[in-house]
Amino acid sequence: MAPIAALALSIAHYVLTVSAWAEPTNHVRVRALSRGETALPRPRPDPVPAQEAENAPAVVVHDAKLPENFRELAKQPGEPQIAGLTIIYLHPLGSPGDTVKWQNVIVHQTEGPAGSAKSMALAQANDPTKRGVTVWVETDGTVYWSTAENAVPTHGDGANRNDNKYIDNSKTYRRVIKTNSIGVEFVGNYPDVAKPPTREQKQAWLILVRFLQERYGIPSENIYAHNWIDFKDRRYCEGCELATLARKLGYEPNKTASGQ
């Protein structure tokens, strides 16, 4: 009987040992097959608004109606607001007769991340003549007016382009410069410099640019992408899409009130 009992005890010990070692293995196997860790396809999360703007078709309202009193609004001092456009004034506008005699608009892309327009505009407001521009546009289309209209921020590179790659530079070479050109900066093309402006930025721009044209009497042919007038980053054409859109509007200041 003793040998039989010993054999039974040995078998029981073996079973218990195998079970003890098997428990962690079974536990790991269960986790590996858990629903949260399987490789089965899962629905993608809903995109946030910024992603929607980036991924949406490039639909822009080229013929957006302007209010009947647009010409009067564009000439007002203070903080004029235009329907369809959100402008936050860090410095109120003065009388158009007291501003720098802006003759051109230069469109820039700052290579700053989404959400940076406000901080950049605030920095410009604190030091108006530093490197930067008068107007900043966020990826959601919000416009920040950073400086007084008689301040001249440092922007552009002296209109050094003379190769006629994009436009006839005989009219711009050393002529379209910071002292006669108001600058508009669009943020959001970081870390990918070739990332296009958002739909919201384009829609805001097509109202904003006509506001600038009407206020300062700037014709459409005097709207320039930074890449058109200066030798810039070869990886992309800075401001080119936006300047092209603005020129296609063919807006005539002091003449067209409806924007058509």
pLDDT band at 40 (very low <50, low <70, confident <90, very high): very low
Evaluate if residue 257 carries a pLDDT over 70.
Answer: no
* Same-domain check for residues 205 and 79: yes
Whether 134 and 13 share a structural domain: no
How many CA atoms, within 13 angstroms, populate the side-chain half-sphere of residue 223? 31
Indicate whether 184 and 226 sit together in one domain: yes
Q: Are residues 164 and 125 in the same domain?
A: yes
Residue 132, burial from CB neighbour count under 10 angstroms (0-12, 13-18, 19+): buried
pLDDT at 152 over 70: yes
Asked if the structure places residue 44 within a domain, the reply is no
Please tell me the predicted confidence (pLDDT) of residue 77.
Answer: 97
Residues 6+ apart with CB under 8 A from 225: 106, 107, 166, 237, 238, 239, 240, 242, 243, 244
What global pTM score does this model have?
0.76
Residues 32 and 68 in one domain: no
- Quick one: pLDDT at residue 157? 95
Q: Are residues 105 and 24 in the same domain?
A: no
**What tens digit of pLDDT does each residue of 183-220 get?**
999 999 999 999 999 999 999 999 999 999 999 999 99
Residues of the domain holding 17: 2-37
Residue 96: predicted pLDDT: 81
Q: Is residue 159 part of a domain?
A: yes
Same domain, 193 and 228: yes
Domain CATH number, residue 201: 3.40.80.10
**Quick one: 17 and 84 in the same domain?**
no
Q: Indicate the number of domains in the chain.
A: 2
Q: Is residue 23 part of a domain?
A: yes
Identify which has the larger pLDDT, 45 or 240: 240
State mean pLDDT over 97-106: 94
Q: Which pLDDT does position 62 carry in this prediction? A: 55
Tell whether 94 and 202 lie within a shared domain.
Answer: yes
pLDDT of residue 121: 98
Cα–Cα distance for residue pair 119/74, rounded to 1 Å: 26
Is there a single domain that holds both residue 32 and residue 148? no
Q: Do 99 and 201 have their domain in common?
A: yes
Of residues 29 and 216, more confidence is placed in: 216
Give the separation between CA 109 and CA 1, rounded to whole angstroms. 93
Looking at the DSSP assignment, which residues form a beta bridge with residue 136?
A: 144, 185
| Host H or E run for residue 88 | strand 87-89
Query: What's the confidence (pLDDT) of residue 32?
Result: 38
